Structure 1
Amino acid sequence: MRILVVDDHRTVRLAISQAVRGEGHEADTADTGRVAQLKLQEERFDLVVLDLHLEGEADGLEYLAKLQKISPGLSVVICTAQASIDTAVEAMRRGAIDYLEKPFTPEQLRTVLSRVERIQRLKQRAEGLADQVARTGPRPDFSSEDIAMKTIVDVVERAANTRATVLFLGENGTGKSQLARHVHGLSAAADGPFVTVNCPSLSRELLESELFGHVQGAFTGAIKDKWGKVEAARGGTLFLDEIGELPAELQPKLLRLLQERAYERVGDTKTRHADVRVIAATNRDLAAAVKAGTFREDLFYRLNVITVTVPALRERPTDLARLAKSYLQYFAEDAGRPVQTFSPAAWAALRAHPWPGNLRELRNVIERAVILARGSEIELGDLPAELGTSVEPSVELGALVSLEALEREHVRRVIARTVRLEDAAAVLGIDSATLYRRRKRWSAEAAAPGAAEAVPTEAGT
């Protein structure tokens, strides 16, 4: 942790600072409340150890409120030689996290620091869980029947508990960001924050500020100091998504961050230390970008420590059934729908589709299908139209096909455009029972030997 010690006695400040550093934390000092305020405006601290009675200044409890106003959520430990139950209760009521009575032993300070550190980790973990809940979706599953995918998961899991930079390559939607979170979750920094920067989302100027922060007046609109994502990720992981889109002007600054763990905020001259592990991802061919002169060669080699290329979904067909069933179960439970499986025709369409959008497209298709499904089975008509054309060509009037095939195609289209089977039956001029029997017969024919690959069911595939 980064800790600020505020006390008007120099020997006390030095003794506490030495004890703090002895526990492996960083320490800075201030001899007055005013200096503490200025330092909090310029630096970010995890904890302030504040003397309750600063000579010649306002009551320490007043400074407690001022410091927390500058840095909301700041942890503060009050210490004083004039301890009493009343002041302890009042300090805690005003937001202090703990209370120390002077003179205190190194062991007492160590106990308090350990307690604060645990609280910080719980906060970070809670924020991480809240972020995962906000990104609604099924829990990532990294098990695989595909040999290439198995190798990738093995490599990243072995690299997870190191400080090595990891670079994920691959098409959009292949799960690169989920793998990055997996690496973070297995690392020594798992209790720390996981902070994402989407490189192509902002202009060069705003991206630099987003990444490194800025000081007041650094540019038009910089009305106050701001800490960037590098500082927000301190003690955790900084994930640079679509690193291949990073502007050329920012590439030297990122290289310095990786090499020296150092950076400056925009408009600031003070060099700061970055305690972060960097993971990056891109769908671009960085080696080709280096040859084209749009990406720095030295930055590429610095990123290229542990590099894995995540295969597209069409390259791992053995995983399709398991992934589809996982999404089906999740979205059916989430929406409270009784959907349990896919019809043979729907499964044939899923299997035949090339999935250019990879896992993201599969997830969206099945979420939509669960919402549209009328019963316990996803039908071909519940899938987007482009998936139906993947399995068999559309049947048109006058085509050289049987009346049976023409009828089947017409029924499928009517069902796809109506809300209920009863409505579809009314349009077709038949009763619902007849329509149900025909659909059941067609499904059985599609599921006959040689008609289609087995459909994922509740029990398996």
Structure 2
Amino acid sequence: MKVLIVDDEANIHKTTSIALKAMGHEPFSAYSGTQTIRKLDENRIDVVFLDLRLGSEDGLEVFDKIRASGHDVPIIIFTAYSSISTAIEATKKGVFDYVLKPFVPEQIRQALERVQKNISLETKVVELESQVSGASPPVIFESDQKSMQHIYRLTERAAPSDATVLLLGPSGTGKTVLAKRIHLLSERAEKPFVVVHCPSLSKELLESELFGHVKGAFTGAVKDTWGKIEAADGGTLFLDEIGDLPFEIQAKLLRFLQERQYERVGETKTRKGNVRIVAATNKDLQAATREGGFREDLFYRLNVISVVMPSLAERPADIPALAQNFLDYHAKQQGRSGCAFSDACLSALRNYEWPGNLRELHNVVERCLILCDNGSIEVDDLPPEVRAGSASGGPTSRLTIGGDFKLEEIEEAHINGVLANAKSYQQAAEILGINKTTLYRKRKRKPSLDPEHDGDHESEVEEHEEAASRV
């Protein structure tokens, strides 16, 4: 942590600073109330050690000035035995703790551990309040899809390191959720997880958002402001949609990634940042580098560990569990119970393409629960586009070469696609490189293959079979 020592004795500064450095903390010094306010304005301080007798100043008056200036940093009082009653009164005013003089390093360590535990508890309370208020459904990190199982294993292995992680994939596939999971599995889990949404601001405002600015740096900069790098100190900085990061800021981000150094806008002082970077984008960054829209050196610096999130259509095995998870969440929110999808409805959900991915599935499930008449959600409860899309596309449209599919599924998909576009069985057979008899037998074995061709070509194929048998 960044610790400010406020005392009028140089020896206290020296001994306390040595102890803090040995514990891995960063000490700052101030000798008066005025210096204290200035240090707090210039640096993001985590905790203050404040002498109760600060020369001619009263430590409690300095405490009041700190609070009046808008700084709510935890404050620990240094006090002698003779002033212990005053120290107790100070805690009633809002002072976090007190340490008796003369003190030993272990007392400092224990006081700081109490601060860290308090910060950790406050963070957990915020997270619990978010869950209780129903901000979002609980996330499940289990999958029946091999591709997702591989992704979860990869991120679990990468999380404990400080390596930069680049999350790629379409919008709505859960990249932000995965970034938060990486943070929670890391050694930085007790520190902040800070998000910067790159497309949401102009170049000037985004630069200030990321690095911070000083008063007067630009029109509207009425006070010094810390950026997200400083806010995420010790934790994780998530750069969402980094493919939209303005080219002018890319060089500054590259420097930070290489040297962990930066300057606030309008300031010449170089600062260091201790953050782990996780970035995400739905764009093809390699194509963007070739076209000159994204720095190649920045891409390689970001691309230490890359994870490609599949679209929802590419993980059909997970759709029933994901849909039920969303359903349970909204059913609880609406005070309903015993809600479930019919088999036909689940089949339709699996067969739909889901261009909006998880976000679209979430919204569709909420809509279905609102509109269904009983505890069972049927196909008729689905939005028209989902019913039409699942009927026309079917499961074949989600197949990809190299995916988790059987050969017979891929064959069925290919034959179905050829039959849908061919003018006749003869043309379809020529495209497939087989004769019409073989094509007909495959269709008979798989009734789902292009049933609309039955009436048009059945007699033609039967005649062909008879002729083949005579030969």
**SS of residue paired to 1:291:** helix
Question: Deviation at 1:85?
Answer: 4.0
1:139 and 2:145 are equivalent in the alignment: no
8 Å CA contact 1:125, 1:192 repeated in 2: no
Question: Deviation at 1:17?
Answer: 1.1
With over 3 angstroms needed to count, the CA separation of the structure-2 counterparts of 1:179 and 1:392, relative to structure 1, is closer
Instruction: Give, as a single letter, the amino acid of the residue that structure 1 aligns with 2:148.
Output: M
TM-score, normalization: structure 1? 0.82
8 Å CA contact 2:232, 2:275 repeated in 1: yes
Bigger mean CA deviation after superposition, 204-213 or 101-110: 101-110
1:73 and 2:72 are equivalent in the alignment: yes
- Name the CA distance, whole Å, in 2 between partners of 1:71 and 1:163: 33
8 Å CA contact 1:4, 1:28 repeated in 2: yes
Instruction: Give, as a single letter, the amino acid of the residue that structure 1 aligns with 2:283.
Output: R
With over 3 angstroms needed to count, the CA separation of the structure-2 counterparts of 1:252 and 1:133, relative to structure 1, is farther
Bigger mean CA deviation after superposition, 154-163 or 111-120: 111-120
8 Å CA contact 1:41, 1:70 repeated in 2: no
Structure 1 match to 2:342: 343
8 Å CA contact 1:3, 1:25 repeated in 2: yes
- Name the CA distance, whole Å, in 1 between partners of 2:308 and 2:195: 20
Bigger mean CA deviation after superposition, 280-289 or 130-139: 130-139
8 Å CA contact 1:65, 1:94 repeated in 2: no
With over 3 angstroms needed to count, the CA separation of the structure-2 counterparts of 1:195 and 1:131, relative to structure 1, is farther
Structure 2 match to 1:4: 4
Q: Percent identity?
A: 53
- Name the CA distance, whole Å, in 2 between partners of 1:301 and 1:136: 35
- Name the CA distance, whole Å, in 2 between partners of 1:126 and 1:3: 24
TM-score, normalization: structure 2? 0.80
Structure 2 match to 1:432: none
8 Å CA contact 2:353, 2:390 repeated in 1: no
With over 3 angstroms needed to count, the CA separation of the structure-2 counterparts of 1:357 and 1:251, relative to structure 1, is same
**Which residues in structure 2 correspond to 1:23-422 (within 5 Å)?**
23-57=23-57, 59-81=58-80, 83-130=82-129, 136-338=135-337, 340-392=339-391
- Name the CA distance, whole Å, in 2 between partners of 1:175 and 1:188: 22
**SS of residue paired to 2:222:** coil
User: Between Structure 1 and Structure 2, which shows a larger proportion of helix residues?
Assistant: 2
Cα deviation code 1:114-147 (max 9, x no counterpart): 2112212222333344455667222111211111
What is the root-mean-square deviation of aligned Cα atoms in Å?
Answer: 1.7
Instruction: Give, as a single letter, the amino acid of the residue that structure 1 aligns with 2:37.
Output: Q
Question: Deviation at 1:98?
Answer: 0.7
Cα deviation code 1:200-258 (max 9, x no counterpart): 01111111111111111111111111111111111111000000000001001111111
- Name the CA distance, whole Å, in 2 between partners of 1:315 and 1:105: 61
Question: Deviation at 1:337?
Answer: 1.9
Bigger mean CA deviation after superposition, 72-81 or 192-201: 72-81
Listed as ranges, the gaps of 5+ residues in structure 2 are: 393-446, 449-471
8 Å CA contact 2:6, 2:32 repeated in 1: yes
Question: Deviation at 1:281?
Answer: 0.3
- Name the CA distance, whole Å, in 2 between partners of 1:247 and 1:83: 60
Instruction: Give, as a single letter, the amino acid of the residue that structure 1 aligns with 2:33.
Output: G
- Name the CA distance, whole Å, in 1 between partners of 2:87 and 2:325: 53
Question: Deviation at 1:107?
Answer: 1.7
Question: Deviation at 1:109?
Answer: 1.7
Question: Deviation at 1:339?
Answer: 5.0
Cα deviation code 1:134-168 (max 9, x no counterpart): 67222111211111111111111100000000000
Instruction: Give, as a single letter, the amino acid of the residue that structure 1 aligns with 2:42.
Output: E
Cα deviation code 1:265-295 (max 9, x no counterpart): 1111111111111100000000000100100
- Name the CA distance, whole Å, in 2 between partners of 1:345 and 1:24: 60
- Name the CA distance, whole Å, in 2 between partners of 1:351 and 1:82: 72
- Name the CA distance, whole Å, in 2 between partners of 1:328 and 1:376: 11
Question: Deviation at 1:389?
Answer: 1.3
8 Å CA contact 1:83, 1:101 repeated in 2: no
8 Å CA contact 1:238, 1:278 repeated in 2: yes
- Name the CA distance, whole Å, in 2 between partners of 1:279 and 1:134: 27
- Give 1 or 2 for the bigger CA radius of gyration: 2
**SS of residue paired to 1:8:** coil
- Name the CA distance, whole Å, in 2 between partners of 1:196 and 1:131: 16
**SS of residue paired to 2:53:** coil
With over 3 angstroms needed to count, the CA separation of the structure-2 counterparts of 1:18 and 1:2, relative to structure 1, is same
8 Å CA contact 2:134, 2:333 repeated in 1: no
8 Å CA contact 1:339, 1:370 repeated in 2: no
- Name the CA distance, whole Å, in 2 between partners of 1:270 and 1:134: 42
Cα deviation code 1:357-391 (max 9, x no counterpart): 11111111001111111111112332211112124
- Name the CA distance, whole Å, in 2 between partners of 1:288 and 1:279: 20
Cα deviation code 1:18-58 (max 9, x no counterpart): 1111111000111111111111111110011001111123x
